[in-house]
Structure 1
Amino acid sequence: MKTFVKPLAAASFVVSGLLASAAGAETAPPPPYLMTGANTVTIAVTWDAASLDGLLPDGVEPADDLSGGLNVYDAEGGFGLTPYSAAYAYINVKGFDSAIGAPARYIIGGWYGPDPKVAAAMNTHFNAGVGTGDANQSGSGDTWTGTGGDGTGSITIVIKPGSECGPAAGTLNYVGTTGEAGLKIPFTGSFCGGEAVSVDIQGAEGSALAQVKVDQILGGGRLLDGIFTFAD
């Protein structure tokens, strides 16, 4: 007697098996990775020029305006890395613009986790130079705070969220510690502008985050219900 399996049932079985395998693995699968239901609080800044000395890889130059920013976010759904949270500081750099002309970014320092496999994957596949840590967001009164760290250092950013939101989409490139653009991120979500209130960066002694200093705070906001991928 022959047994026939309906294609839809077979597909569901395969997908559920993949999800169970990824969720229980000690190491993340190789990219690409998919993130859904991501929520980010962000502040744009310019960095103090002197504080950037020696922080970028050979051959990588900061943007002329020394612009960059800080992000704290979490992503609940997707495949490969999720769920996880992250907090990091970045600087815009020359020569690696994305397909839409957005300047590439270099991560000055930060954390991904709390599962160590998330930071390990970011460093193995994208040379991100990040540590294992955790991040969270919370609201109090008219402010919204994102904070993350690992017990030896932390990033905390505070904004006053605005009421106007609109669709946002684009592509971003991130340059790794090897000086190559190894991470490409197409993204979409709803961006809600806001007023930047404060930035606090605490780095472990001798770290890039202990060295870097903000020159000016430019603005802030939140990207809600984000969907994006990490691809090399």
Structure 2
Amino acid sequence: MDKTNHIGPNPIHAAHGIAHFGEDPPPPYQIMTRDFLFLRARFRRDAVRAAVPAELEIADEATGFIGMLTSTGGWGLEPYSLLYLALDVKHAASADGTPGLFRAVNYYSGQPGRLFRRHYNARMEIGYSRQWNDGFTWYGEGGRDEPEVRIELRRTGDDLPAPASGIHHYLADAPKGGLAHFYVTYTAQFGGAEVVDYALTDTAAPLLKSLEPVEFLFSYYCPQTPLAIGEPHPYDPKTGAPDTEAHRLGLMDVISRIGLAAALVSRDGRLLFINSKARGLLAMAQVGGRLIAWRKEDQRQLDGVIASTGNQDTLISPPVALVRPDNALPVLARALPVSAAMAGEPAFLVLFSEPEARPAKDIDKVLQVLGLTPAEARLAAGIGAGRSVNDCADHLAITANTARSTLRVVYDKLGISKQSELAGIVARLE
């Protein structure tokens, strides 16, 4: 039996008097997929019209795509496989100009299937897909209990092109009635392929049979594709949907792909987005709608830095050291302003980093230029990198009392009074 992902009590929530979030991890979900088979197709117009809710206007060309992929997992979602069919609709284009897509057929395996059915799409069904290859020929099959679709693609070249990024805007039947919409960002190398065979089995669902393609326009094979899946929201075809969520998701996807732990925070302190790397580093979640530190004194510093950034001449704030409850090295946080055009409203990007267990080998030499003795500089480099006084004392073969008295001298010479200020100096010197 598949296990349901469960988030237990969080020490951060307890420290701030916040109830634990619940069994379902909140979106956005950030995952890595492999062996993505993508077929762009045209369907019978009457079949598309029957498959899409009446309040949505279908594309004149009656187009859409069929996809099969396997996810190796990521933030919030266990590994899963997926077969889906999405149909183009009018007046719901994504931020990158691609058509809106109604999710008509959706076979997900395991925990993600149950989670998406609860929160995203009433048409989600438990199923599976699997993909495999024999040289340049790729095969895929998917269905519910048994294969309902079989695909055969042949790659048309050796080389993969440069990665391309985009944002899909999906619409769905909301689990509690009406329509829902959500965004998915992706970055993929789209290897060209041709469709050798597409076959429906006798066990295929009636909807899948009715949507048998009449023409394949193009197809791709994508070896690896990172995806970020945004939060679902109600959708009204009369008013459409703002691109705010798409911009945020796209911004954070770029930040994530270059390896940074980050969160997007509004001017009044609301947490707009936090990526998977930051979640893992901080054990934070979108609880109470705010970015929460472990200690209340660190929270006040973090809130102060976020509030003051943008009102000063600096483009990025000095770092704030967030002390962790497990005595590990603290996390350093810096904030920089982000325009409303990128975030949907005036906001701040908070970047998080984890100090190295050992200070950079030349930092102590630079600190000596600031007037510290070699012994003081070695201690300052360690403390500024986030190590405790006792750790530094052990590393430098001195007593803890000597380390504390030396640290007071360091603070006096540098004109500072606390570790977070020393961390800021060290961070600037690295």
Normalised by the length of structure 1, the TM-score is 0.80
Aligned to 1:189: 188
SS of 2:50's equivalent in the other structure is coil
Alignment of 1:1-232 (within 5 A): 21=6, 28-113=24-109, 115=110, 117-127=111-121, 129-151=123-145, 154-162=148-156, 163-166=158-161, 167-178=163-174, 180-202=179-201, 207-232=206-231
1:106-130 deviations in whole A, cap 9, x for unaligned? 12213001x1x21122122222512
Count of residues paired in the alignment: 209
State the one-letter code of the partner of 1:84.
Y
Structure with the bigger RCO (C-alpha within 8 Å, sep 6+) is 1
Deviation at 1:169, TM superposition (A): 0.7
Q: Which has the larger radius of gyration?
A: 2
Specify every segment of 5 or more residues in structure 1 that has no aligned partner in the other structure, as ranges.
1-19
Q: Structure 1 residues 83 and 173 mapped into 2: Cα distance closer, same or farther (>3 Å)?
A: same
Task: Determine the C-alpha separation between the residues in 2 that align with 1:219 and 1:205.
Answer: 23
Q: Structure 1 residues 128 and 231 mapped into 2: Cα distance closer, same or farther (>3 Å)?
A: farther
SS of 2:51's equivalent in the other structure is coil
Deviation at 1:164, TM superposition (A): 3.3
Aligned to 2:363: none
Specify every segment of 5 or more residues in structure 2 that has no aligned partner in the other structure, as ranges.
8-22, 232-430
Deviation at 1:186, TM superposition (A): 0.9
Task: Determine the C-alpha separation between the residues in 2 that align with 1:152 and 1:196.
Answer: 22
Deviation at 1:231, TM superposition (A): 0.8
Task: Determine the C-alpha separation between the residues in 1 that align with 2:29 and 2:82.
Answer: 15
State the one-letter code of the partner of 1:81.
L
Deviation at 1:64, TM superposition (A): 1.2
Deviation at 1:61, TM superposition (A): 1.9
Query: Is the 1:72–1:135 contact (alpha carbons within 8 Å) kept by the matching residues of 2?
Result: yes
Task: Determine the C-alpha separation between the residues in 2 that align with 1:139 and 1:191.
Answer: 16
SS of 2:209's equivalent in the other structure is helix
Q: Structure 1 residues 59 and 120 mapped into 2: Cα distance closer, same or farther (>3 Å)?
A: same
SS of 1:64's equivalent in the other structure is coil
State the one-letter code of the partner of 1:95.
H
Name the stretch that deviates more: 27-36 or 61-70: 27-36
Query: Is the 2:193–2:218 contact (alpha carbons within 8 Å) kept by the matching residues of 1?
Result: yes
Query: Is the 2:149–2:204 contact (alpha carbons within 8 Å) kept by the matching residues of 1?
Result: no
State the one-letter code of the partner of 1:42.
F
State the one-letter code of the partner of 1:217.
F
Task: Determine the C-alpha separation between the residues in 1 that align with 2:172 and 2:54.
Answer: 11
Aligned alpha-carbon RMSD (Å): 2.5
Q: Structure 1 residues 37 and 89 mapped into 2: Cα distance closer, same or farther (>3 Å)?
A: closer
Query: Is the 1:123–1:130 contact (alpha carbons within 8 Å) kept by the matching residues of 2?
Result: yes
Task: Determine the C-alpha separation between the residues in 2 that align with 1:103 and 1:203.
Answer: 32
Task: Determine the C-alpha separation between the residues in 1 that align with 2:228 and 2:205.
Answer: 32
Name the stretch that deviates more: 193-202 or 216-225: 193-202
SS of 1:95's equivalent in the other structure is coil
State the one-letter code of the partner of 1:98.
S
Which of the pair is proportionally richer in helix? 2
State the one-letter code of the partner of 1:164.
D
Runs of 4 or more, structure 1, over 6 Å off, are none
Task: Determine the C-alpha separation between the residues in 1 that align with 2:131 and 2:170.
Answer: 24
SS of 2:116's equivalent in the other structure is helix
Deviation at 1:205, TM superposition (A): 7.4
Query: Is the 1:185–1:229 contact (alpha carbons within 8 Å) kept by the matching residues of 2?
Result: yes
Task: Name the % identity.
Answer: 24
Deviation at 1:202, TM superposition (A): 4.3
SS of 2:159's equivalent in the other structure is strand
